Amino acid sequence: SKESGRGQYHFYATEMNDRIMAQRKMTEDLRHGLAAGDFYLEYQPRFDTRMRRIRSLEALVRWAHPESGRVSPAEFIPLAEQNGLIVPLGDWILRTACQAATAWDGIGVSVNVSPVQFRDGNLVDKVREALQSSGLPGHLLELEITEGVLLEDAERAIQVLAELKTLGIKLAMDDFGTGYSSLSYLRNFPFDVIKIDRSFIMDLDTRENARAIVQAILGLGKALGLSVTAEGVETNEQLAVLTMDQCTEVQGFLLARPLKLDKVMELLAELADI
């Protein structure tokens, strides 16, 4: 009836309103958290299983929210991208990660960069500045980029990526295989590393075609001279299959979780002792 229809409309409107209010509060919280220093970084090792060493560590941002405790980046990064706060936050992440890596004895750091940071226009300057002020050599910094960066204005993206390469840094294509045109991107953009998306690794034990896809990506990497990292390795079975297929760079909870900086330093000291 008309009556219940209207009630329904009211219900949806209220729900939407709640969501907008919640987002508004989180935006305020983000801004406040940024000023208050409530963010910190964890670092997840990427292993070279053949050389038996840590090849690099990926910086992952964490938010210690004063009321809600730990909020997942999967939740607040999209919001920070919407409201633009990813630009100052991303800047802080970049500088903090470069600074941290200067103490790692030649082991590099990998930093996730949002498409919004690309559009901001000053990314190249910010990366140069982060390297200069920390003193980290360019080849020890890698930026992880998803194809979202390349979707909107490919010509501009090519130009920015080329400028980034002149700083001597490395570029990784993150979440490889989940997008629509990953292959043409590999042809047109100067990537050094492919990261096979976790969804393919997850299915390795159970689905023949997941393994076929992983093998194809490994072959592609080899043919193009790119290194290939498997992300999200959680089981010994997955690691065994990857090793059999000659994937030597792996990341995942099986090998190491993301670690706070003091734990990273302990781990690196332990490994150096062996």
Contact residues toward Ca ion (CB under 5 A) are 112, 144, 174-175
Q: Which residues contact 150 (CB under 8 A, 6 or more apart)?
A: 157, 185, 189
- Cα torsion 125, 126, 131, 134: sign: positive
44 binds ligand C2E (CB under 6 A): yes
Q: Which of 225, 244, 249 is nearest to 57 (CA)?
A: 249
100 binds ligand C2E (CB under 6 A): no
Smallest gap from residue 55 Cβ to Ca ion (A): 14
**232: partner contacted, choices ligand C2E, Ca ion, none (Cβ within 5-8 A by kind):** ligand C2E
Which residue is at the shortest CB distance from Ca ion? 144
74 binds ligand C2E (CB under 6 A): yes
User: In terms of CB distance, is 111 or 140 closer to ligand C2E?
Assistant: 111
Smallest gap from residue 45 Cβ to ligand C2E (A): 10
Q: Which of 132, 200, 120 is nearest to 160 (CA)?
A: 120
User: In terms of CB distance, is 17 or 82 closer to ligand C2E?
Assistant: 82
94 binds ligand C2E (CB under 6 A): no
41's torsion region: left (phi>0), alpha (psi -120 to 50) or beta?
Answer: beta
Smallest gap from residue 195 Cβ to Ca ion (A): 5
User: In terms of CB distance, is 29 or 150 closer to Ca ion?
Assistant: 150
258 binds ligand C2E (CB under 6 A): yes
- Among the listed residues 5, 35, 70, 72, the single contact to ligand C2E using CB under 6 A: 72
124 binds ligand C2E (CB under 6 A): no
Tokens 């990537």, residue located: 191
Tokens 């983000």, residue located: 30
List binders of ligand C2E among 202-241 (CB under 6 A).
Answer: 232-234
Smallest gap from residue 185 Cβ to ligand C2E (A): 17
**Residue 28 token pair:** 């305020």
**Residue 44 token pair:** 């997840």
The three-point CA angle 167-261-36 to 5° equals 90
Q: Are 258 and 43 in contact (CB under 8 A)?
A: yes
- Among the listed residues 174, 189, 200, 264, the single contact to ligand C2E using CB under 6 A: 174
DSSP string, 8-45: HHHHHHHHHHHHHHHHHHHHHHHHHHHHHT-EEEEEEE
Q: Are 149 and 157 in contact (CB under 8 A)?
A: yes
73 binds ligand C2E (CB under 6 A): yes
Smallest gap from residue 145 Cβ to ligand C2E (A): 10
List residues binding ligand C2E (CB under 6 A).
44, 59-61, 72-74, 77, 90, 93, 112-114, 144, 174-175, 232-234, 251-253, 258
